[in-house]
Chains A and B, each alone.
Chain A
Amino acid sequence: QLQLQESGPRLVKPSETLSLTCTVSGGSVSSDKDYWSWIRQPPGKGLEWIASIYYSGSTYYNPSLRSRVTIFLDTSRNQFSLRLTSGTAADTALYYCTRYISATGWFDPWGQGTLVTVSS
């Protein structure tokens, strides 16, 4: 059974970089033909897709975040990661890692989510 788990600092200072890692178990980031993805949800607000990376390494970004976001795979550790530079309070959110199944068009499964706060 595929499982995903987010990890990374919970508190980031303004202007600094937010870095999160998703550890995948029960599947492989380098062979499963799906898109590994990050989605965030500010407190009390809706869902925002951030980025996805295909098992082959092709990347897709939300245009509103493209200039600040990088998503990448670490196949040796079966992980994928997110870097978001120049953090502001608007980046405070619950960050989920998930798998996007392009054949059916949905995200599943999801990690439990990790709350990242951008504050001094």
Chain B
Amino acid sequence: DIQMTQSPSSVSASVGDRVTITCRASQTIDSWLAWYQQKPGKAPQVLIYAASNLESGVPLRFSGSGSGTDFTLTISSLQPEDSATYYCQQAKSFPLTFGGGTKVEI
């Protein structure tokens, strides 16, 4: 199984700050990585797929990078509505696995 390790587990930042979340896979997953945003009481929503492709409708302040085993989600200028928990998910192979999540507080 491919293990996904996210860091940090939580981050507190101010409006306008740049926030970076990292995700590391236990073995290479090429670019088979998605990022999700989950707000309280809601289902997760995809932000990024294939490591760096922005899903339609997602604000441009979100970006993803990386390949192989190391990946990054960056919020370039944090907004109040970005307060949420973020998860990475590998799509290289079954069993599909998620990172432990990063809670972003503003």
Contact = CB atoms under 8 A, between A and B. Distances in A.
A63 B95 contact: yes
Interface string B54-93: 0100000000000000000000000000000001010100
Interface stretch (A7-15, A25-33, A47-55, A76-84): A47-55
A61 B95 contact: yes
Contact of A106 (B91, B95, B97): B91
Interface string A1-25: 0000000000000000000000000
B98 A49 contact: yes
A60 B98 contact: no
Contacts of B49: 104-106
Given A104-B50, A105-B33, A47 B95 contact: no
Interface residues of A, number: 22
B91 A110 contact: no
B92 to A, nearest CB: 8
Given A60-B94, A60-B95, A107-B89, A47 B50 contact: no
B98 A47 contact: yes
Nearest to B9: A46
Interface string B31-44: 01110100000011
B94 A52 contact: yes
Contacts of B91: 102, 104-106
A100 B36 CA distance: 14
A112 interface: yes
Interface string A46-73: 1111001000000011110000000000
A47 B86 CA distance: 11
A105 B43 contact: no
Interface of B: 1, 32-34, 36, 43-46, 49-50, 55, 87, 89, 91, 94-101
Given A46-B98, A47-B36, 8 more contacts: A52-B96, A61-B95, A63-B1, A105-B33, A106-B34, A106-B91, A107-B36, A111-B43
